[in-house]
Structure 1
Amino acid sequence: MRVQMLGLCRFSYVGLRGYKVEHGSYDERREYLYRSDRLARRWQWFTRVALPAWRAQTDPDFTLVIMTGPDLPEPYLTRLQDLAAEMTQIKLSLVPPMERHLQACRAAVAPHVDADADVIGHFRHDDDDAVAIDYIKATRRDFRRVKALWKSEGKLSLDYSRGIMAAVGQGGIELTPRICHNMGVALTVFLPADAPETALSYDHSKIGLWMPGVAITRPLMFLRAIHADSDSGAMGPGTPWQLGAEQVTRQLWQRFRLRRADLDELACEY
């Protein structure tokens, strides 16, 4: 059974829906998203937090669609084009502003669906979060273990729940290990190849309304950033788990190819 792993990452996409922070017009949204200081910070988080683990995936067979607008200010549009040229797994999709966000997401993803795939593992990825370097490999392996459930339902979510919350505060960055279910990051939605939906079609916090789900609580699989530019600044419900300071530093590198000093430096930008 051919499983395509297909992700969508929105990079300052100007659309009126699909975000918790709302604006009344495209101009208001564009002004907010394209502010020079905000774009500079988003680029730093994207390249220094999100990208390292995607570059280091132990299974390189995945596609990550970067969705942005055709009028994204320079130098960021050229930088994304250069990144897509350099890294074969990254596809850049320039989508004009659309009021209906789910249609925009589908327009970004649809050209990259593998027609030969039996199942699409859709995932969403925020441009300031990180998944572990074995996320793709582990997802394929664990789907094989539960694919009978997918066959009976036609839809299935697979949630890696163990993560680290990286919250930026006045004192710098605070790293809190938590088990949080269906956060969106490291959550895969398995659908038939001809399904019109993407991972963004479902509210991740209510995904059980539409499909059965399997939660896998180890190993550590995601880092979620919470800061002033986040669409949602809440940590959300979860269960703490213990990880010493030295262990955190080691796990950041081993699981995400991140260094604590880089996170501290990013936190200083706020």
Structure 2
Amino acid sequence: MRVQMLGLCRFSYVGLRGYQKDHASIEERRAFLYDPRRLARRWLWFTTLALPGWLAQTDPDFALVIMTGPDLPEPYLSRLRDLAAGTPQLRLELVPPMERHLEACRAAIAPHVDSGADVVGHFRHDDDDAVALDYVAAARRDFTRVEGLWRSEGCLSLDHSRGLMLRAGAGEAQFVPRIAHNMGVALTIFLRPDQPQTALHFNHTKLPLWMPGVAVTRPLMFIRGVHADSDSGDMGPGVPWQIEKAELDRQLSRRFGLVRADLDRLAHAAA
């Protein structure tokens, strides 16, 4: 069975709806998203936390569509162009502002759906989160274990729910270990390639309304950034788990390819 892994990452996309922070007009949204200081912070989160894992996935057979607007200020638009040009798995889609956010997401994803695939593993990824280096491999492997459930329903969510909440504060990165179901990061929505939806079409907090779901609680699979620029602004519900500091630092390196000192500097800059 051919499983396509296809994700969407919105980088300061100017459009109405689709976010928890509301704005009355496109102009108001643009002014908020394109504020130079905010863009600098978002780029720092993206390149320090989110990007390393995608550049070093153990299974390189995936596509991550980076969705932004054609008027994204420089130097960020050129930087994204260069990233996409140099990395086969990264695809840049410039989508003009649209009032209906889900239509915009579909416009970004549709050109990259492999019609020859048997199933598409859709995922969303925020530019201030991280997935483990084996997320793509794990999602594809674990899907084969529950493929029969997908066949009977035509849709299925696979939730790799053990993660770390990274809070920026006190000049250093503070980590809160959580098992958080359907958080949105490291969450894969398996659909047929002829279905028009993307991962963004399903509210990740209400997935059981639309499809069966399977939670995989080991191993550690995601880091979620929680800071002043976060759209949601809080950690959300979850089950705490424990990890010693020395082991945490090892896991950051082994699972995510990240260095604690870099994350401390990121948290300090974002505080």
When normalised by structure 2's length, the TM-score is 0.98
Contact 2:42-2:128 at 8 Å conserved across structures: yes
What's the counterpart of residue 15 of structure 1?
A: 15
1:266 aligns with 2:238: no
Q: Is the 8 A contact 2:16 2:26 kept in 1?
A: yes
* Structure 1 residue 170, shift from structure 2 partner: 3.6
Q: Report the counterpart of residue 108 of structure 1 in structure 2.
A: 108
Query: How many angstroms apart in 1 are the aligned matches of 2:268 and 2:58?
Result: 32
CA distance in 1, matches of 2:14, 2:170: 29
**Pair 1:66-2:54 in alignment:** no
Number of paired residues? 270
Aligned CA distance change for structure 1 residues 44 and 171 (closer, same or farther; 3 Å):
closer
Q: Which runs of 5+ in 2 are unaligned?
A: none
Deviations 1:109-155 (A, max 9, x none): 00000111010000000001000000000111100010000000000
Deviations 1:135-179 (A, max 9, x none): 000111100010000000000000001000001124532101110
Offset of residue 200 of structure 1: 0.0
Describe the superposition over 1:73-127 as per-residue Cα deviations: whole angstroms up to 9, x where unpaired.
0000000000000000000000000010000000000000011101000000000
What residue is the counterpart of 2:250 in the other structure? 250
- Match of 2:41? 41
3-state DSSP of counterpart to 2:218: coil
Structure 1: how far apart are the matches of 2:252 and 2:170?
Answer: 22
- What does residue 197 of structure 1 align with? 197
Tell me, what secondary structure is at the counterpart of 1:44? helix
Per the alignment, residue 175 of structure 1 pairs with: 175
Q: Distance in 2 between matches of 1:264 and 1:25?
A: 36
Cα RMSD (Å): 0.7
CA distance in structure 2 between the aligned counterparts of 1:46 and 1:148, rounded to whole angstroms:
36
Unaligned runs of 5+ in 1: none
After TM superposition, the runs of 4+ consecutive aligned structure 1 residues lying more than 2 A away are 169-173
- Within the alignment, does 1:91 sit opposite 2:91 as a pair? yes
After superposition, give the CA deviation of every residue in 1:10-67 in whole Å (9 maximum; x if it has no partner): 0000011000011001111000000101111111111111111111100000000000
* Residue 27, structure 1, aligned to residue 30, structure 2: no
Aligned to 1:208: 208
Q: Per the alignment, in what secondary structure is the counterpart of residue 207 of structure 1?
A: helix
Q: Compute the displacement of 1:208 (Å).
A: 0.6
Q: Percent identity among equivalent residues?
A: 69
